[in-house]
A and B are shown apart, each in its own frame.
Chain A
């Protein structure tokens, strides 16, 4: 730590950072635009000016840009200096010359960094009488709205889009005060990470087009901390609701996981929650209810009329449906409970408790189940650790086996783009250029890249940053993997009959990995190839045997694949066998569309043989259409729960709003069934905390889940953490069309969050942060105030806990190489081709994702 003097007061700051970072970390309100913790400093906007003095006798000083000035021992600066303040105010005045007078219709209004900075500098009167510059806008696809008039030329968008995310089709055009940020012509933005422009742009040039369809101001959104459900990486999100519909997803900073960014599927895939295909009421098939008693005729069923013919499901009230469920469960010959990798740990565990451990099936197909179990086993045995996304960003040699990461685990691909830049930072460090000096680092690095090797069946979107790519059949990729492991450690099993090319490539990759300090091996389940998973484990084990701290990262298909793998159970195909053998006649399916997991013929036969099919789900899938009883489960935004990501990190998501009618989380439904059936174990499922406690007793490996977030009775100064901002509007009017009498806000017994604007305004612990706001900082940049130092960890150290810890001193056990034989030139193999927009089940119900999926490929 070094001492700097700000306005004659000494402060301790960390060396190696720039003055702007230091000032912001110390809590000074210093305005800035072009700097961003993830994009570093370029000194383009001239907004963060402070005055620097030579020594204590210097009274004149000079104005410097704080983002381009490194901190130094004994340095004296003034933030409060009159001249510096006038300078900053002047800069804002120039920016405002052409900024339009359209805040009322701007989606950024109320969470605009430019608004905040204008107020902060005190510029409040327009002195110029000249006309304002205007620009034509572009169509940028279904995700992003473009309004170029508002641009203040900070260059953040192109620096993010091109330099950080590797996009090519957004750029800056023209010259002087005509500069234009956009595409060369109208068209859909090509990058899978374009949604981050919404948060990167300090004003309203790039705004969320899906939010525009159902706009609500930031101060009107009821928000809750959430976890993305659209892939296995577990990015942290903030889900915002207004008037009973989910309005948008914003990034929630997690130092070790997603950092500042989300992919477009995670950001815009949320609209399935508002889909017309949602199941909103409990429903019965007419065969179960000859009498129309309890029938809720006022509402129509979303399942009615869709290729069910006369067996249409009809909405019924909760009690009579629960009565039917308990009747069926108590009279059945045998029950099959099918869990789901897209349901929370709690829901899966509750189902397992309801049907009994022996009758619980994971709901994953046989290959999926086998691969996930294998991955968990490999992670537990070690010795390689499973890296967080932050560790991925720090890796210095990477080999990817069989995964098209942009499409199967998008943010992992974005992290790899940062990892390969490591060599530029090394080169800069040798020349004493600090890492925050963006232009300096890029000049010093001259595009040097850390080695990245990609072996996939087809081209991937990361090929442009790879040193070498190898396109091969899955078995050949596995053979390459085994060969690399053998090169690294001769005691690892060798592969016979390698071609010259593969063998030399294996040597080259092994050489690169050996030279690296933080090598990383990435593989996954997407090709359903066990040998690729084993080969990756062998490489990591061989690296660890050579005493390198290797990381081994596996991608998994769904948001809770790992959690479900830990809970275990039998796979789906075994359920088919049990049903065929006549050992069971009732099926309870939890948030799972079986038709996505196996052959439709098999599923049809399975469901036909079942006497009763009970489905808990939130969307009317083909499986739900075949059910006798359907219970409306809550989505991630309507329930509380825990998900385990590919790294083995358990993270809590919280309910953002109270859904209409009887919709509730899966585990709450199962609790209701247990209560209706008079089960003595029902008490253990009563609240989220009791479910996690019971779960921890049943599975010691899940014990940390109890501690990943504060318990429901957590209070800050005696009050809960509010989900609504303190300026939440319309409280006494929003429900007045129904009744002018205002009801009490709904209680939340499961979490320390309240469905209210009342509560503590203090910063809550990291897992409970529902929005970023600080006095004077309404935009997402208020995040600075929640971090220990800007760009660092959140104040209350991170959220989520790693469940799977490798035994790092364990002896590496190698899998034996047996990847069949090398494929021949004329062999044909069918491999799945994943699409970021299209392959995920839930996001496909979002209109924006659907439109994007149909957009022409560049």
Chain B
């Protein structure tokens, strides 16, 4: 008897509660900023590609759906000559983002990636590269790496001493 009344009460209570179902796509759901959706490649504050083609994302990928080839421009900056993600294999685990030492590869809140043809799920670099820094503004790998690349000489990074004068014997 009590159980029956309790049931009726629960039904009545939830009848007037705000609905959890939303009318997608007319109505947009709230996506938390750390959602693991479509993968992008970001640029640094100067608009240059952040990806240095270190291959760590590819190595971390459990389904091996990332492939790329490293190249070096005339300034000495490494970049991927091609960068391909096969989203039909991607499981959106976010390991690539975690592995990325330069904040280049990031997962975004976009999840609307359905395609009728599976081949269209293969994204090349021009599909992946965005024009901004994404979630992590400000970080510039080459300022920290100690290398000399175009526009940044040895010893000019924030954590670098000026280059050693080999001919000096001063302590």
CB neighbours of B122 from chain A (8 A)? 733, 736-737, 740
Is residue B85 within 8 Å, beta carbon to beta carbon, of the partner chain? yes
CB neighbours of A174 from chain B (8 A)? 164, 166-169
Is residue B119 within 8 Å, beta carbon to beta carbon, of the partner chain? yes
Residue from the list B53, B68, B86, B167 in contact with A732, Cβ < 8 A:
B86
Nearest Cβ in chain B — how far from A574, in angstroms?
A: 50
* A732 adjacent to B166 (CB under 8 Å): no
Residue interface mask B114-139, A partner, CB < 8 A = 1: 00001101101000000000000000
CB interface residues, B 121-171, toward A, < 8 Å: 121-122, 124, 141, 144-148, 154-155, 159-169, 171
Nearest Cβ in chain B — how far from A247, in angstroms?
A: 11
CB neighbours of B53 from chain A (8 A)? 215
Is residue B72 within 8 Å, beta carbon to beta carbon, of the partner chain? yes
The closest CB in chain A to the CB of B164 belongs to: A178
CB interface residues, A 731-777, toward B, < 8 Å: 731-734, 736-737, 739-740
* A730 adjacent to B66 (CB under 8 Å): yes
Is residue B69 within 8 Å, beta carbon to beta carbon, of the partner chain? yes
Among A134, A730, A733, A736, chain B packs the most CB atoms within 10 A around the CB of: A733
Known: A100-B145, A104-B141. A733 touches B66 (CB 8 A): yes
Bound Cα distance from A732 to B118, whole angstroms: 13
What total of chain A residues lie within 8 Å of the partner, measured CB to CB? 43
Is residue A217 within 8 Å, beta carbon to beta carbon, of the partner chain? yes
Q: Which of B9-17, B33-41, B57-65 contacts A (4 or more CB under 8 A)?
A: B57-65
> Given contacts A105-B145, A180-B166, A219-B59, could you give 8 more A-B pairs where the C-beta distance is less than 8 Å?
A102-B146, A104-B141, A131-B161, A132-B146, A217-B59, A220-B55, A729-B64, A740-B88
* B66 adjacent to A105 (CB under 8 Å): no
Is residue A699 within 8 Å, beta carbon to beta carbon, of the partner chain? no
CB neighbours of A730 from chain B (8 A)? 58, 64-68
* A737 adjacent to B52 (CB under 8 Å): no
* A135 adjacent to B54 (CB under 8 Å): no
Known: A100-B146, A149-B147, A737-B124. A131 touches B159 (CB 8 A): yes
20 residue pairs from A and B, CB less than 8 Å apart: A103-B54, A105-B145, A105-B147, A132-B146, A132-B159, A132-B160, A134-B161, A134-B162, A136-B154, A149-B147, A174-B166, A215-B69, A243-B69, A729-B59, A729-B66, A730-B65, A732-B65, A733-B122, A734-B84, A737-B82
Is residue B101 within 8 Å, beta carbon to beta carbon, of the partner chain? yes
CB neighbours of B163 from chain A (8 A)? 134-136
CB interface residues, B 86-122, toward A, < 8 Å: 86, 88-89, 101-102, 118-119, 121-122
Bound Cα distance from A731 to B86, whole angstroms: 10
Residue interface mask A93-130, B partner, CB < 8 A = 1: 00000001111110001100000000000000000000
CB neighbours of A217 from chain B (8 A)? 55, 59
Among B52, B118, B147, B161, chain A packs the most CB atoms within 10 A around the CB of: B147
Nearest Cβ in chain B — how far from A157, in angstroms?
A: 15
Known: A135-B154, A727-B59, A729-B66. A102 touches B145 (CB 8 A): yes
CB neighbours of B171 from chain A (8 A)? 176
On B, residues with C-beta under 8 Å from A are: 52-56, 58-59, 61, 63-72, 78, 82, 84-86, 88-89, 101-102, 118-119, 121-122, 124, 141, 144-148, 154-155, 159-169, 171
Bound Cα distance from A178 to B169, whole angstroms: 9
| In the A-B complex, the 7 residue pairs with the closest CB atoms | A730-B67, A100-B146, A104-B54, A729-B58, A102-B145, A733-B67, A731-B64
Bound Cα distance from A737 to B102, whole angstroms: 26
The closest CB in chain A to the CB of B64 belongs to: A731
* B52 adjacent to A733 (CB under 8 Å): no
Is residue A825 within 8 Å, beta carbon to beta carbon, of the partner chain? no
Residue interface mask A178-196, B partner, CB < 8 A = 1: 1010000000000000000
Nearest Cβ in chain B — how far from A184, in angstroms?
A: 10
CB neighbours of A220 from chain B (8 A)? 55, 58-59
Is residue A324 within 8 Å, beta carbon to beta carbon, of the partner chain? no
CB neighbours of A147 from chain B (8 A)? 147
CB neighbours of B159 from chain A (8 A)? 131-132
The closest CB in chain A to the CB of B69 belongs to: A243
Residue from the list A104, A135, A137 in contact with B102, Cβ < 8 A:
A104
* B145 adjacent to A729 (CB under 8 Å): no
CB neighbours of B68 from chain A (8 A)? 730
Among B155, B164, B165, chain A packs the most CB atoms within 10 A around the CB of: B164
* B61 adjacent to A737 (CB under 8 Å): no
Known: A131-B159, A215-B70, A736-B84. A105 touches B54 (CB 8 A): yes
* B59 adjacent to A101 (CB under 8 Å): no
Nearest Cβ in chain A — how far from B167, in angstroms?
A: 7
CB neighbours of A100 from chain B (8 A)? 145-147
* B55 adjacent to A729 (CB under 8 Å): yes
The closest CB in chain A to the CB of B82 belongs to: A737
Nearest Cβ in chain B — how far from A767, in angstroms?
A: 29
Residue from the list A175, A214, A729, A731 in contact with B169, Cβ < 8 A:
A175
* A105 adjacent to B52 (CB under 8 Å): yes
Residue from the list B67, B88, B101, B161 in contact with A133, Cβ < 8 A:
B161
CB neighbours of A102 from chain B (8 A)? 145-147
Known: A104-B52, A176-B171, A220-B58. A733 touches B65 (CB 8 A): yes
Bound Cα distance from A182 to B165, whole angstroms: 14
CB neighbours of B88 from chain A (8 A)? 740
CB neighbours of B144 from chain A (8 A)? 101
Bound Cα distance from A808 to B157, whole angstroms: 68
Is residue A714 within 8 Å, beta carbon to beta carbon, of the partner chain? no
CB neighbours of A728 from chain B (8 A)? 64
Is residue A173 within 8 Å, beta carbon to beta carbon, of the partner chain? yes
Among B64, B121, B148, chain A packs the most CB atoms within 10 A around the CB of: B64
Nearest Cβ in chain A — how far from B131, in angstroms?
A: 22
Is residue A212 within 8 Å, beta carbon to beta carbon, of the partner chain? yes
CB interface residues, A 246-285, toward B, < 8 Å: none
* B86 adjacent to A733 (CB under 8 Å): yes
Among A110, A131, A212, A728, chain B packs the most CB atoms within 10 A around the CB of: A131
CB neighbours of B66 from chain A (8 A)? 729-730, 733
Known: A733-B64, A733-B84, A740-B88. A137 touches B54 (CB 8 A): no
Residue interface mask A207-237, B partner, CB < 8 A = 1: 0000010111101100000000000000000
CB neighbours of A149 from chain B (8 A)? 146-147, 154
* B64 adjacent to A739 (CB under 8 Å): no
Bound Cα distance from A136 to B155, whole angstroms: 9
Bound Cα distance from A214 to B78, whole angstroms: 12
